[in-house]
Amino acid sequence: MSILHSVENNLEIIQKNIRDVCGKANRSPDEIQIIAVTKYVSVERAEEAVTSGVKHLGENRDDGLLKKWESISNKATWHFIGTLQSKKVKRIIDKVDYIHSLDRESLAEEIHKRTEKTVKCFIQVNVSGEDSKHGLPREEVLGFVQKLKAYPSIEVVGLMTMAPYTEDEAEIRKCFRDLKALQGQIQEMNLPYAPCKEMSMGMSNDYKIAIEEGATFIRIGSALVGNEQ
Ligand SMILES: *Cc1c(COP(=O)(O)O)cnc(C)c1O
């Protein structure tokens, strides 16, 4: 088991890396939001993240989100980053600020049915086409965005992807770059409900590449809060 460093310490390292990468990529660090992914850690560790200055928390399970929400509530902005079963929507919908895993019309329909508010959603895209990855195939995304007009509760704030699990940096970079290109195509559609300004990409192992390729939200678990399991 690895030693668990303080979140504050990890956060400093990540923020320094973000500054370095932004400097080289001609971007402002202010454009990058860090989401602490707390799925492998306790409520206490998630609280530590918030007191260390983390503003965004991400969970991939309804139970994990609800448990942490009980104690942290509006002290953080909440992101649901995992595959979302339609029947779980009503449990979490009034607790979350962002959903990163919109990938089918039935889910959009359920979200629309269960809330009065506007929900900021990322369309999750399976850029690499790997079977194991969730998300919508790339070629279906533009058609899907058009269909979302029928569900006014949904605001498409951006696109989300997970890079393939590989050591091959070029392959990871291509995945992020392809997602960025898709964002441009959606923006050209000029749809009021799909401004699509954000890019949710980059995790502990690949967030530097993601920032170089245009990430605005990076989702960091192990490198920030660790893994207590
Ligand atoms: C777990 C998870 C992360 C964080 O993973 P790390 O490699 O621990 O940083 C990011 N995004 C999603 C969708 C996840 O499920």
90 within some domain: yes
111 within some domain: yes
Confidence (pLDDT) at 3: 61
pTM of model > 0.85: yes
Give 37 Cα–ligand 1 centroid separation in angstroms: 6
Q: Which of 4, 7, 45, 81 for a ligand 1 pocket mutation test, highest count of atoms within 8 Å of Cβ?
A: 81
Cβ of residue 121 lying under 6 Å from some atom of ligand 1: no
| Collapsed DSSP state (helix, strand, coil) of residue 153 | coil
Residue-number span of the structural domain to which 168 is assigned:
7-225
1 within some domain: no
Give 190 Cα–ligand 1 centroid separation in angstroms: 31
Long-range contacts of 169-178 (CB under 8 A, 24+ apart): 169/209, 171/128, 172/206, 172/209, 173/209, 173/212, 173/213, 175/127, 175/128, 176/201, 176/202, 176/209, 176/210, 176/213, 176/214, 176/215, 177/213, 178/127, 178/138
Confidence (pLDDT) at 101: 98
Cβ of residue 35 lying under 6 Å from some atom of ligand 1: no
Residue 73's region, left for phi above 0, alpha for psi from -120 to 50, else beta, is left
30 within some domain: yes
Tokens standing for residue 155: 């605001």
Confidence (pLDDT) at 94: 95
Question: Which residue owns the Cα nearest ligand 1 atom 13?
Answer: 81
Residue-wise pLDDT for 184-218, tens only, equals 999 999 999 999 999 999 999 999 999 999 999 99
104 within some domain: yes
Nearest atom within ligand 1 for CA of residue 205: 7
Confidence (pLDDT) at 177: 98
C-alpha–C-alpha distance, residues 71 and 45, integer Å: 12
Cβ of residue 81 lying under 6 Å from some atom of ligand 1: yes
Query: What end-to-end distance do the CA atoms of the chain give, in Å?
Result: 9
2 within some domain: no
Residues 6+ apart with CB under 8 A from 118: 152, 153, 154, 155
CB 92 within 8 A of CB 80: yes
* Total domains present in the chain: 1
Cβ of residue 220 lying under 6 Å from some atom of ligand 1: yes
- Regions of the chain where pLDDT drops below 70: 1-3, 132-133
Nearest atom within ligand 1 for CA of residue 37: 4
Give 189 Cα–ligand 1 centroid separation in angstroms: 30
123 within some domain: yes
158 within some domain: yes
Give 222 Cα–ligand 1 centroid separation in angstroms: 8
Confidence (pLDDT) at 129: 83
C-alpha–C-alpha distance, residues 221 and 166, integer Å: 18
Confidence (pLDDT) at 50: 98
Residue 103: CB atoms within 10 A of its CB come to 24
Cβ of residue 52 lying under 6 Å from some atom of ligand 1: no
Nearest atom within ligand 1 for CA of residue 227: 8
C-alpha–C-alpha distance, residues 210 and 216, integer Å: 9
Q: What is the CATH number of the domain that holds 59?
A: 3.20.20.10
Residues 6+ apart with CB under 8 A from 105: 144, 147, 148
Give 153 Cα–ligand 1 centroid separation in angstroms: 26
Cβ of residue 15 lying under 6 Å from some atom of ligand 1: no
